[in-house]
A and B are shown apart, each in its own frame.
Chain A
Amino acid sequence: TQLLEQSPQFLSIQEGENLTVYCNSSSVFSSLQWYRQEPGEGPVLLVTVVTGGEVKKLKRLTFQFGDARKDSSLHITAAQPGDTGLYLCAGINAGGTSYGKLTFGQGTILTVHP
């Protein structure tokens, strides 16, 4: 069973601060996705990283996939109250009987105070 350890579980910061969320595993994933979810809605895909060492930027959000494709990070610069939500990482299984399935991390609840 492939597991994704996501940290921190909770993050409460002031507007304008920077933050980083981590997603780590002992298993290799073919790719990794980051989602953001707001109360009463389903998760919305932010990005998919595929190549080891890949870095993708989405405005103030920077996503990185580890060289060995076992870990990833999400960095938010100058956080805003609109960034508040549940952030989930999800690894796409690389092989075996679970090929193509999503394995979700535990989630990080981010609260950005004005």
Chain B
Amino acid sequence: SAVISQKPSRDICQRGTSLTIQCQVDSQVTMMFWYRQQPGQSLTLIATANQGSEATYESGFVIDKFPISRPNLTFSTLTVSNMSPEDSSIYLCSVETPGRFFGPGTRLTVL
């Protein structure tokens, strides 16, 4: 199993600014994922972040908008850059340990 924490749990940001979301895991994991979710809806994969390699982004998501760091096997960050109201969403990190575990999410509101 894995226990995942995310910071911040929620934030309200102004248009044009950037927010970095942190994901901390209580064990070493190779595969880490970042998802986006509208409340009560499905999850959309943003990117896969494996330690020691560049993040792999899904169609519709680019590194300039969502830069990801993966400095070690227990930590990752996702930055939402130059935010617009359309970026308002819940952002979740997830790991495969094996077994898939999700963090509690970061609820972002962009005004």
Q: Which residues of A come within 8 Å of B, CB atoms?
A: 6, 33, 39-45, 86, 88, 101-102, 104-107, 109
Contacts and interface: CB of A to CB of B under 8 A. Distances in A.
Is chain B's interface secondary structure helix, strand, loop, or mixed overall? strand
B105 A40 contact: yes
Given A45-B100, A102-B43, 20 more contacts: A6-B42, A33-B100, A39-B39, A40-B107, A41-B105, A42-B4, A42-B101, A42-B102, A42-B103, A42-B104, A42-B105, A43-B92, A45-B101, A86-B40, A88-B42, A88-B43, A101-B45, A102-B45, A104-B43, A107-B40
A42 B94 contact: yes
Contacts of B102: 42-44
A107 B42 contact: yes
B41 interface: yes
A86 B43 CA distance: 12
A45 B40 contact: no
A42 B101 CA distance: 8
Nearest to A105: B42
A86 B45 CA distance: 18
10 contacts: A33-B100, A39-B39, A40-B105, A42-B94, A42-B104, A88-B43, A102-B43, A102-B45, A104-B42, A106-B41
Nearest to A86: B40
A7 to B, nearest CB: 13
B83 to A, nearest CB: 21
A84 B102 CA distance: 19
Contact of A43 (B39, B43, B44, B107): B43
Interface in B15-69: 39-45
Nearest to A109: B40
